[in-house]
Amino acid sequence: MAQNGANPIIFDLRDRIQHLDGAMTRPKAVLPFGVCEIDERLPGGGLAYGAIHEFAGGGAGAVDGAAAALFAAGIAARTKGKVVWCLARPDLFAPALAQVGLHPDRVIYVEAMKEEYVLEACEEALRFGGLGAVVAELVRLPMVASRRLQLAAEGSGALGLVVRRWRRQTEAGDFGHPTAATSRWRISVLPSDPLPVPGLGRARWLAELIRIKAGESADFEIGACDAQGRISLFPDAGNGSDQTRRSVHTG
């Protein structure tokens, strides 16, 4: 029983209203990719802070799933401050994150026994604020849970990144269900771009922006994140150029 006979439901509603008021009055900051062709597709010119963004691999299972995780890690690498990474499977390869600019000394790993605990840890980290980004690895993201994460991000102005990783290919269909994420991306591995050195190539991804609030979907053929988390945009086929355009934004 709340003190003075106050209804705890009213307290909860007031807290939610305060979070909403704060989100409406706070200027919306964004994290640009630094590639104008991509940023011009995003409201405000980048990925919005105070929001969650969702990433999943394409149809090639673990290979595309790894690319999606690295894409999200590159985004986190371009932020300032510590990054909280919540996961239920202790199989994250830290050296791979370091190769895209997210060094171990910046990452706080939160390993949970169940996905429900991953959601709880992610929500708490988002509400805490003051972090560069909060990443959660999940198989499923129910609408109610995504709304809680979105409200938590709005309240603190944090950047939330949800990486959808499948244990079985049959679970990939869950990504088709609606969520409250501000943007949703699907990353697929493409054949590498040949380099002058025999047997080596530059990794390429297909980044599909399949949903963005107040914007339109788009596809981008990009070079994988470099050591500072930056991506490059490959030119359209047939335009006569063999040069890629590298992101100039480093966070």
pLDDT tens per residue, range 2-24? 444 455 566 566 555 655 554 44
Q: What is the pLDDT of residue 182?
A: 96
- List phi, psi (to 5°) of 20: -65, -45
Q: Which two tokens stand for residue 106?
A: 């910046």
Band the pLDDT of 229: cuts 50, 70, 90: very high
Left, alpha or beta for 89 (phi > 0: left; psi -120 to 50: alpha)? beta
Q: Which two tokens stand for residue 55?
A: 């990433």
Stretch 209-228: mean pLDDT, rounded?
94
Helix (H, G, I), strand (E, B), or coil: what is residue 208?
strand
121-179 pLDDT per residue, tens: 999 999 998 999 999 999 889 999 999 999 999 999 999 999 998 766 655 566 778 99
pTM: predicted TM-score of the whole model, two decimal places: 0.82
State the average pLDDT for the chain.
84
H/E stretch holding 158: none
233, 190 contact by CB (below 8 A): no
Q: What is the pLDDT of residue 89?
A: 83
52, 161 contact by CB (below 8 A): yes
Distances (CA, A) of 232 to 30, 78, 225: 19, 14, 8
